[in-house]
Amino acid sequence: MPGTGSMFFIFLTSFLAASLARAQSVELAGRFYARSSPSFGKKDADDYWSGRKSNVLGILQPGTRAEILRTKMMPSGNSAFFVKVTEGALKGKEVWFYQRKGIDERRVKVAASPSPIPAKPEIPTEATSGSECAGGTCHSPTQNSSAISAIDAVVKKAQPRFGLSDLYTKAVNNNGKGDDDLYGVRNFRTVLDGLVYRGGANNTYPKDKRDWRKNENPLQRDGLQNLCEQGFDTAIYLYPTNFKSAPPSVECVTKDGKHNKLTYLNHVASDNNAATKKILKMVHERLKDPRNKKPLYLHCWNGWHSSGYMSSVILRQFCGTSANDAVNYWNKNTDGNNKGATYDRIRERIRNYRPDPALAISPEVRKQVCLPTK
């Protein structure tokens, strides 16, 4: 599951806080930790998932309805809400959940009168004068409204499903624990909202010990099957090791009852090589018009280094992310595993990437799928 601080965005502004506290019922569209007290230590979630004593009682799943009994302002300026669950797995329980400063309209809504969705924040871009990719992003002419509407629909569908609204929160942690619908992956994060995700393969933390194998392997079949059931049509393994042992594709029925096929590809991306360009073109096709394109999963072994490199390049190409911000993004998402000359070379490759004008997207689409790196 995602870490504590980043799980608890709520559909609130300071104006709405009082009315939300008075609301008879709220409905959750994301996942929240349910707690026994308004104590929100950073280790609480890790303790819960590791089976240690924790004030986390369980997970409030999407669709949960609850009555807000009272609120508590924290010294940080964040808010805590004490609720009685009226519908959902924890029905009848009185629990706390947490609001970090900020707004995410998709996470919680007042059941009686939901408010309009605010626009996403502008993404700062890197100034590059005299370039076909001025502003750090290659722009094409304005895309047709049907394509933009299709992208918007994909984004809105994905965020409530995975509970992710930034580039750093995990739906599945390093030990493979979190969203059971995504079992088989590790360190699952968003890259482009609703369309591209990144992570690793869970070979060393299986539920059944008989499925254990070395970390240096592709996804196992259950991981591919679960991605297929979540609507992904492509997974890309970014290392060559043992790829031939994996199935080239799997078929399934998705959670919403539709037939789906996921194709498993092997593209070893490095520098500005052919594999990197091929992946960027695949992403570009989805961004041009995603109506017939489903989410894509990029993965390495841990979800840190190669998936981080490819994701950083995607952010530089399509979101106007500066070299420094892209490197900082890569560093942060290695979970501290980034010391040494090998990783210095990856950072240098990220800095050296230059957006390709042939893969331009419109500013409207960029606003739909790009999330802030800071």
- Domains of the chain plus CATH, in order, are 5-110 (no CATH), 134-369 (3.90.190.10)
Q: Which two tokens stand for residue 112?
A: 């009686």
Q: Which DSSP letter does residue 120 get?
A: P
For residue range 268-300, what is the model confidence (pLDDT) as tens digits?
987 768 999 999 999 999 998 767 678 999 999
Provide the 3-class DSSP secondary structure of residue 70: strand
> For residue 115, what pLDDT is reported?
35
Residue 103's pLDDT band, with cuts at 50, 70 and 90, is very low
Give the whole-angstrom CA distance, residue 189 versus residue 181.
Answer: 14
Q: Per-residue pLDDT averaged across 60-82, rounded?
A: 78
Average per-residue pLDDT for the chain:
80
Lowest mean pLDDT among 61-65, 66-70, 155-159, 161-165: 155-159
Whether residue 310 contacts residue 298, with contact meaning beta carbons closer than 8 Å, is answered with yes
Backbone dihedral angles phi then psi of residue 243, each to the nearest 5 degrees: -60, -30
pLDDT at 128: 35
Residues 196-213: pLDDT tens digits?
999 999 999 998 888 899
pLDDT above 90 as % of the chain: 47
Dihedrals phi, psi of 30, to nearest 5 degrees: -140, 180
At 358 the three-state DSSP class reads helix
pLDDT digits (tens, 9 = 90+) for 217-265: 999 999 999 999 999 999 999 999 999 999 999 999 988 888 999 999 9
Alpha-carbon gap, residue 275 to 277, rounded angstroms: 5
245-251, long-range: CB within 8 Å, 24+ apart, which pairs? Answer: 245/217, 245/218, 246/218, 246/219, 246/221, 247/221, 250/221, 250/224, 250/225
Q: What is the pLDDT of residue 374?
A: 75
Contact 266, 295 (CB under 8 A): no
Instruction: Decide which of 317 and 116 is more confident.
Output: 317
DSSP 54: -
Residues with Cβ within 8 Å of residue 254, at least 6 apart in sequence: 228, 229, 230, 231, 260
25: nearest Cα among 69, 68, 80 = 68
pLDDT of 125 strictly over 60: no
pLDDT at 331 over 90: yes
